[in-house]
Amino acid sequence: MSDHLSDKPKRDFVGLADLSATQLWAWLELARDLKAEWLAGGNRPLLKGKSLGMIFQKPSLRTRVSFEMAMEHVGGHALYLSPNEIGLGGRESVADVARVLSRYVDGIMARVFVHEHILGLAQYARVPVINGLSDFNHPCQGLADYFTVWEKLGHLKGVTLAYVGDANNVATSLLFGGGKLGVNVRIGAPAGYGVKPAVLARAQALAAESGGSVYATTDPLEAVSGADVIYTDVWTSMGQEVEKAQRAAIFPPFQVNARLVSAARPDVLVMHCLPAHRGDEITDEVADGPHSVLFDQAENRLHAQKAILVDLLG
């Protein structure tokens, strides 16, 4: 009988808030070790014979390639399932998809529009489920982001990370991860586009336990003042296209440009989860400038996700 039908307890990765600080640090350290091992000549086949089913409702360069190559690096196999092949929650129920895939693969990664689909997959699957993105959060991105900050600065506790722009799913994961790791997270977003009260309250509770802090403002300069890290994302995410013109009129003061960067620390790191709409939320000058770690950050999706896969599927 294969491992995913055994009595071994199943663990999922739905969000950073669900991890203990100890578990989160264990993944960061494993990501560091697996990256060093890869750069030194290659990873051991820690997931030899294991398979990952990847459900995509939303397209993605980084999520697909990083998960597929992560499995390959550690000796496993990844299977891409396009939106048309499943029709998750439409042509076939979430519960049935979870039950069927549990008979075929050792783990499921899903990139979806609606967070309830992630919760449903986790509820009904007998194999680990990994949240590759939902409208609520983006925990794999958050893990890679904090791995990148740790790699660059050598520590996380006491780091000030300022997120400016739309307080979206990425911001939620940065808040929850920062709350677990003792990071001071500031959110600078226009009125009406800030953090949802329930998310803010949970992040503040997590930060109170770790010695970090959470602060929200509608002033982008206030958010980035003296920050160690400035983070931004697109102003209009997939599924929000009808709001594009409205958002384009509201968000320009939150553009990460040379003026905004100058208000942070002289050695500030600038981050973006990509894809970037250059000339909107970030300028070419900053994205390609000396403060940018955008592509190191993208690379680290691969290694952070290797750590998740090795732990959950191994």
Provide the mean pLDDT of the chain. Answer: 95
Q: What does the chain come to in residues? A: 314
Model pLDDT for residues 131-152, shown as the tens digit of each residue: 999 999 999 999 999 999 999 9
Catalytic residue list contains 166? no
- Beta bridge partners, 129, equal 108
Q: List the catalytic residue out of 4, 62, 301, 303.
A: 301
- For residue 160, CA distances in Å to 148, 157, 174, 198, 306 come to 14, 9, 12, 22, 27
pLDDT at 3 over 60: no
What is the C-alpha to C-alpha distance for residues 146 and 155, in angstroms, rounded to an integer?
10
Q: List the catalytic residue out of 57, 141, 255, 305.
A: 141
pTM over 0.85: yes
Higher pLDDT, 206 or 58: 206
Catalytic residue list contains 138? yes
Instruction: Give the helix ranges, DSSP H, for 158-251.
Output: 169-181, 197-210, 220-224, 244-250
Q: What is the pLDDT of residue 106?
A: 98
Catalytic residue list contains 247? no
Q: List the catalytic residue out of 138, 186, 272, 291.
A: 138
Residue bearing tokens 């794999």:
140
Catalytic residue list contains 301? yes
Model pLDDT for residues 253-263, shown as the tens digit of each residue: 999 999 999 99
Q: List the catalytic residue out of 57, 273, 291, 305.
A: 273
Residue bearing tokens 């998750």:
88
pLDDT at 31 over 80: yes
**pLDDT average, residue stretch 169-194:** 98
- Beta bridge partners, 256, equal 282
Which string of b and e fits 48-85 if b means at least 16 CB within 10 Å? eebbbbbbbbbebebbbebbbebbebbebebeebebee
pLDDT at 212 over 50: yes
Q: Domains in the chain, ordered, with CATH?
A: 3-138+301-313 (3.40.50.1370), 141-297 (3.40.50.1370)
Structure tokens at 35: 């990256």
- Beta bridge partners, 186, equal 162, 215
- Give Cβ neighbours of residue 196 (< 8 Å, ≥ 6 apart): 167
Higher pLDDT, 297 or 243: 297
Q: What is the pLDDT of residue 8?
A: 67
Catalytic residue list contains 140? no
Helix (H, G, I), strand (E, B) or coil at 215: strand
Let me know if 96 is exposed, middle or buried by CB neighbors in 10 A (0-12, 13-18, 19+).
exposed
